[in-house]
Structure 1
């Protein structure tokens, strides 16, 4: 349910062309925030490859110019695919790290001065259940998401004295354009996650966006440095 709890906030959301990013941008706006969106494609404010050198600095510059400031950061862009360890080429492994980790690091780094100046900055990164566990065929993805969680904890420690909170949302199996090929190609994989979740369903992007909105709000003002599981209870029986 929409509210005005984010009224006055100025947020960047990446990966906002679809999936969790699009749902997050919509929810933050519904709660009163100004939102500047970015993705490699889609109906966003800035179409850009955020793995390119200098791209995140330009994103911050344009967002600040458009909104008159910046105090909230939600880097949602991410990629994933199944690749067995044997035959796993370097190029794909490095690409996953570039998108899921390095681009997040650069965006947080380049936005940090604005978040610190705001005095109540919010950073919400996107991890995964694989931020804490592993699974076959997901060595690149799991490595990147473990790293995002660790990075977020370090950022929370470093920026906390300036009033900035940093938390990592850890989604379970969510029905998005990124996961759709796997769920379509392997219906047994979809069934596995539906049955594994205590709530007996896949998550929807809005399930994640609602938690992100909470973490961006003053309701979460004393939460920082945590991984927040949003998985329908899937991992209680891991």
Structure 2
């Protein structure tokens, strides 16, 4: 396929899971990809950059890398995320701030840094990774759920701001996907069975299931879709 031929993309959280699958899918569709993660292990892409997105210097370096090494930017995939765990009794201020820094503020800061390039593109796309917990809640995940609700709200607001520039902004909301973040939980057979049974498709999600949705939103096929939260959970939440 070549529906993204000539397009330039930046993917964060790209060393594993959904991010790594997205890098491969965008490349397969013809895009040149700048891949970023906090670690270089497993990091693919045409251009690679490592750093902590909570650091403003890393944000500036990514913008410069996109400008100088890609020659611009058409597609920004804000995928990096963390999952602080704990009840309200247990969560510390540092855990709250960490979740907000990575899951909300880093996407906002990186998008702002890349705005000039995205506006200059003929097909600017911002795609944020949320969660089904951008809509629902769960005990012990207050900091994570709050940040994922926030990224969906940010998506909707930014879509209204950038629409006149021809830039679309959407949020993918994965369900239970087998990634490094969830593998520990899913090693408990009961947890895996629970999510598999809740799924209309009777299976857990794979990173490629979400990467394909991201690639669609990055393409011209999705040119009239903006400000949306796209749930991709195998039908888990259809009967919740």
Contact 2:53/2:102 (8 A) holds in 1? yes
TM-score (norm 2): 0.95
Of 220, 225, 234, which residue of structure 2 is paired with 1:218?
A: 220
Task: Give secondary structure in 2 for the equivalent of 1:73.
Answer: strand
Partner Cα separation in structure 1 for residue 205 and residue 84 of structure 2: 18
- Provide the secondary structure at the position in 2 that maps to 1:12: strand
CA contact (8 A) 1:119 1:162 kept: no
- Deviations along 1:86-135, one digit per CA (max 9) or x if unpaired, are 12111111111111111111111111111011132001100000000101
What does the per-residue CA deviation read over 1:196-230, in whole Å, with 9 as the maximum and x for residues that have no partner?
A: 11111110000000000000000000000000010
Q: Is 1:86 matched with 2:89?
A: yes
Tell me how far apart the structure 1 counterparts of residues 51 and 84 of structure 2 sit (CA, whole Å).
22
| Residue 137 (structure 2) pairs with residue 134 (structure 1) | yes
* Residue equivalent to 1:15: 13
Structure-2 separation of matches of 1:154 and 1:87? 32
Measured after TM superposition, the shift of residue 64 of structure 1 is 1.7
1:29-40 equivalences in 2 (<5 Å): 29-40=27-38
TM-score for the superposition, normalised by structure 1: 0.96
Supply the distance in 2 between the matched residues of 1:111 and 1:55 (Cα, whole angstroms): 13
Show structure 2 runs of 5+ residues with no match: none
Between the aligned partners of 1:118 and 1:21, the Cα distance in structure 2 is 22
Aligned length: 235
Deviations 1:147-181 (A, max 9, x none): 00000111110001000000000000000011111
2:57 matched to 1:59?
A: no
Aligned counterpart, 1:105 = 108
Gaps spanning 5+ residues in structure 1: where? Answer: none
